[in-house]
Structure 1
Amino acid sequence: MKLWRPGITGKLFLAIFSTCLLVLAIMHWGVRLSFEHGFIDYIKRGNEQRLEMLSDALGEQYEQHGNWQFLRNNDRFMFKLLRSFEHGDMENNNMPPHGWRTQFWVVDQDYKVLVGPRSPVPTDGMRRAIKANGRDAGWVVASPVERLTRNTDINFDRQQRRTSWIIVGLATLLAAAATFLLARGLLAPVKRLVEGTHKLAAGDFSTRVDSTSQDELGKLAQDFNQLASTLEKNHNMRRAYMADISHELRTPLAILRGELEAIQDGVRKFTPESVASLQMEVATLTKLVDDLHQLSMSDEGALAYQKQSLDIINLLEIVAGAFRERFNSRGLSISLELPDHATIFGDSDRLMQLFNNLLENSLRYTDAGGQLVISAEVVNQRFVMHFADSAPGVSDEQLTMLFERFYRAEGSRNRASGGSGLGLSICQNIVAAHNGKLSAAHSPFGGVSITVELPLEPESLRLV
């Protein structure tokens, strides 16, 4: 048989309810103990006062009569004497007029009972000597306080016990109801988080949980929603990423297959021109695979960086010189507006790859007759470079998407003008590895301006 195991709601309910029961039990025990001791002490003090009053009054009567004959078989005398005590107590407000709570006896000097019940005189009861003419003429003896004999007192004690248990029962029910509502209310956000986690684990990345409170659970719900949003975004990006990769690979492969089938069928002759066409598509595939490999390695932080002090101005001039002839063949111009010297701490190979990608991007997406202006300045110990080209430009919405993978501003998948769509993403990772910042804006020449910010080498490192 499977044992019942309470969930977190049941555990919290049992914990709070058990604590309430323990508090109730301690309070009940304490109240009962206090009442019983207080009640007995109250009766004991009252009996002591009455014993004293009765012994004094009987001593005076004994001195007047000289013996105990006036008291033998004279219950009426004792009744009047006790009544006078009670009236005196009421007038003096010393104690309430309830008379004796316990049985009492009046005995003579020979310990013979003069007044009292027929039961034996208790040896452990309270006693008070009756003084007459300087000697003990007898004693007034009362039964122990614990032996209550009056029905009203016994009923009062029973009523207090019964009332106490009723209060405990009602308090227990109230504690159970309050604990249940409290546990349910406190754990409602936890249950929503559990349900949301189950949906998230099942692949439903659109799930969200309500976050209405500002406590730790509310912050946890906000973090959960942020996590779900990130997972949903990454899931969509992964699907789009796989679709883009398959598309990018399919295009050159389809061209290669068509070219090879045409040569095989004799439709196209195997000439140097056809070989050059095939080599171009192979180069495109190689570039795409290399870019994917570079991007995956940079995402994982696996790219090796061998940083050292280097003159970034000299590096920019080398890259611009290597591209100048290609720009001229497309009717484009490159102009440099650089300071004389700037030293940074970085990897020359990776920075060369960064500049190559940026210039390749401008070469592919700038109309003939345009220009690329590379300018730089030092701002707050940072080397800021601007790669601004001419038309065509992009919209504000397209600016925010330039660094997304496989995105092309012209919106087509024709490879005639575009590359793999991964160059700027690789650039972003390289700049981040150098503690820099990469951003895009509208160019003053009508195209796009890519800004690269890199920290200058600290003076302390230059002196080493």
Structure 2
Amino acid sequence: MTSPLRLGISAKLFLAIFSTCMLVLITMHWGVRLSFEHGFVDYIKRGNEQRLAMLGDALADQYEQHGNWDFLRHNDRLIFTMLRSLEQNPDSSNQLPPHGWRTQFWVIDQQYKVLVGPRAPVPPEGSRRNITTSNGKIVGWVVGSPPERLTRSTDINFDHQQKRTSWLIVGLSTLLAALVTWLMSRGLLAPVKRLVAGTHHLAAGNFATRVEVGSHDELGQLAQDFNRLASSLEKNESMRRAFMADISHELRTPLAILRGELEAMQDGVRKLTPEAIGSLQSEVGVLSKLVDDLHQLSLSDEGALAYRKQATDLVQLLEITAGSFNERYRSHGLTLSLQMPDEAPFFGDPDRLMQLFTNLLENSLRYTDAPGQVMVRLWYDAPYWQMSFCDSAPGVDAEQQAQIFERFFRTEGSRNRASGGSGLGLAICKNIVDAHGGHIAAAHSDLGGLKITLQLRYVPQP
């Protein structure tokens, strides 16, 4: 069984535009033909009426000269002589159409007897003009048959010529419409075809595909959106690959240590001592921390973290968080100082905000050389609460600042676990700030290290 013919969008657009052109063209053709035929007949009718009036005046003059109609009876030559005289010397006030009479006419007297005319009966609906003498007496009539259709061969030939010319124009216009429609459909669908081809490449996994933006209309905007989508997919694919590589790297080291320790104990090279068990527990702790961070990051990426927002005080949260770090900072040779107002009311989740502050202070603790200092400032710049976490050397270059909130990114090239964590803390921070409608950024610190700035929009609660 053969499948039905499926027309592409190019053929459909061509047929739609071409059908519309043909409908308009045929309608115009028949409209012009009807207008011409009726107008031509009206033109003949007006000419005949003028001739009837002039012939009636001429016959009235002849009747007054002769006193009766005897001069016209059985004298058709006289009437045609008068007609030729009227055609050759028309009155300047009565400009006659050319080519003479186009219908039959009759001259009848007072008793309705035909003086001049064909043997056919006088049509009652024909044009009738009185033959009136100078004293107002009606002595006869000139009657012309109604020009309902063309009768003269010259008029018929002229009408046929106009028909042929009209159909020739229709044929040429059809060819021109087909050509213009074909070019138009190709031009309009060229960007669509590029988008279709690009979509096929994108669906096949070629995220480097881009389409040409050739206009500034809706199709051009669609092409720009397609390119942005392809760029986002390409970036996400690159991040996914990097994410998988980073996870495998993060898991490989503690697993390798655990495997080595266990094999050493199994072979009797290392004894099962509390110190060995503690080493194993340390690596298990690293794995547990990595899994917890991954879980927290996945939840924050999906917006699935439970945010229980309520009225809270940022100053109180910062003081509690800083208090839990004071001893660790002193043991590392670092000084932690706070510059804050008396209170900072805010509507947010206090647990997630403390997690945010904890990650930032933990980051400064790991990456600040001793002796060093960390300064936390909080101030209000309507409508935002502004916060800065500044630490001393070492600093972070501009390229690293742009990547510092990406997952698994750590500034040290060796990825040394002694100083670095899982590389997920700042990524989680960014998600928490975004969930509170804020903004987080990294810059150079005046103290010589890194400066993390936060903007949290303050909306007073009723």
TM-score, reference length from structure 2 = 0.90
* Counterpart code for 1:154: I
Aligned counterpart for 2:415 among listed residues 410, 413, 416: 413
C-alpha separation between the residues in 1 aligned to 2:337 and 2:149? 116
How do residues 210-229 of structure 1 correspond to structure 2 at under 5 angstroms?
A: 210-229=212-231
Does the CA-based 8 Å contact 1:389-1:448 persist in structure 2?
yes
- Cα pair distance change 1:294/1:107, threshold 3 Å: same
- Cα pair distance change 1:129/1:240, threshold 3 Å: same
Aligned counterpart for 1:330 among listed residues 329, 332, 346: 332
State the 1:11 CA deviation: 2.5
**Does residue 1:243 correspond to 2:210, yes or no?**
no
The 3-state SS of whatever aligns with 2:233 is: helix
* Counterpart code for 1:99: G
The 3-state SS of whatever aligns with 1:48 is: helix
> Bigger shift: 134-143 or 43-52?
134-143
2:297 match: 295
* Counterpart code for 1:38: G
The CA deviation string for residues 251-280 of structure 1, in whole angstroms up to 9 with x for no partner, is: 111111111111111111111111111000
**Does residue 1:39 correspond to 2:47, yes or no?**
no
Aligned counterpart for 2:365 among listed residues 363, 368, 371: 363
C-alpha separation between the residues in 2 aligned to 1:352 and 1:139? 117
2:196 match: 194
Does the CA-based 8 Å contact 2:367-2:419 persist in structure 1?
yes
C-alpha separation between the residues in 2 aligned to 1:241 and 1:325? 35
1:314 match: 316
State the 1:404 CA deviation: 0.8
The 3-state SS of whatever aligns with 1:310 is: strand
The 3-state SS of whatever aligns with 1:368 is: coil
1:395 match: 397
State the 1:173 CA deviation: 2.2
1:13 match: 14
C-alpha separation between the residues in 2 aligned to 1:328 and 1:348? 26
The CA deviation string for residues 114-148 of structure 1, in whole angstroms up to 9 with x for no partner, is: 54446665565444455679877655443331353
- Which segments of 5 or more consecutive residues in structure 1 lack a partner in the other structure? none
State the 1:417 CA deviation: 1.6
> Bigger shift: 148-157 or 336-345?
336-345
The 3-state SS of whatever aligns with 1:447 is: strand
C-alpha separation between the residues in 2 aligned to 1:378 and 1:134? 111
The 3-state SS of whatever aligns with 1:16 is: helix
CA RMSD of aligned residues (A): 2.6
| Count of residues paired in the alignment | 460
1:49 match: 50
2:103 match: 102
> Bigger shift: 192-201 or 66-75?
66-75
State the 1:240 CA deviation: 0.8
The CA deviation string for residues 300-353 of structure 1, in whole angstroms up to 9 with x for no partner, is: 111112223333333323322322222333333323333333332222222222
* Counterpart code for 1:14: L
- Cα pair distance change 1:421/1:100, threshold 3 Å: same
How do residues 47-126 of structure 1 correspond to structure 2 at under 5 angstroms?
A: 47-65=48-66, 68-89=69-90, 91-92=92-93, 94-106=95-107, 114-117=115-118, 125-126=126-127
C-alpha separation between the residues in 1 aligned to 2:444 and 2:391? 9
C-alpha separation between the residues in 1 aligned to 2:319 and 2:144? 120
State the 1:159 CA deviation: 1.7
> Bigger shift: 2-11 or 29-38?
2-11
C-alpha separation between the residues in 1 aligned to 2:353 and 2:53? 111
1:350 match: 352
C-alpha separation between the residues in 2 aligned to 1:207 and 1:196? 6
1:373 match: 375
The 3-state SS of whatever aligns with 1:400 is: helix
The CA deviation string for residues 35-86 of structure 1, in whole angstroms up to 9 with x for no partner, is: 2222112211221222233234334434544555544554442332112111
> Bigger shift: 196-205 or 110-119?
110-119
How do residues 438-449 of structure 1 correspond to structure 2 at under 5 angstroms?
A: 438-449=440-451
The CA deviation string for residues 2-39 of structure 1, in whole angstroms up to 9 with x for no partner, is: 33333333233222222222222232222222222221
TM-score, reference length from structure 1 = 0.90
Percent identical across equivalent pairs?
A: 69
Aligned counterpart for 1:266 among listed residues 263, 268, 273: 268
C-alpha separation between the residues in 2 aligned to 1:296 and 1:140? 106
Does the CA-based 8 Å contact 1:89-1:97 persist in structure 2?
no
* Counterpart code for 1:354: L
State the 1:426 CA deviation: 0.7
- Cα pair distance change 1:245/1:66, threshold 3 Å: same
Does the CA-based 8 Å contact 2:50-2:94 persist in structure 1?
no
The 3-state SS of whatever aligns with 1:302 is: coil
2:456 match: 454
> Bigger shift: 156-165 or 49-58?
49-58
* Counterpart code for 2:216: Q
C-alpha separation between the residues in 1 aligned to 2:287 and 2:257? 11
Does the CA-based 8 Å contact 2:41-2:149 persist in structure 1?
no
State the 1:360 CA deviation: 1.7
The 3-state SS of whatever aligns with 2:209 is: coil
The 3-state SS of whatever aligns with 2:261 is: helix
State the 1:409 CA deviation: 0.5
Aligned counterpart for 2:156 among listed residues 154, 157, 160: 154
* Counterpart code for 1:233: K
State the 1:105 CA deviation: 3.8
C-alpha separation between the residues in 1 aligned to 2:248 and 2:128? 111
> Bigger shift: 275-284 or 151-160?
151-160
C-alpha separation between the residues in 2 aligned to 1:124 and 1:204? 84
- Cα pair distance change 1:254/1:81, threshold 3 Å: same
C-alpha separation between the residues in 1 aligned to 2:5 and 2:145? 57
State the 1:189 CA deviation: 1.8
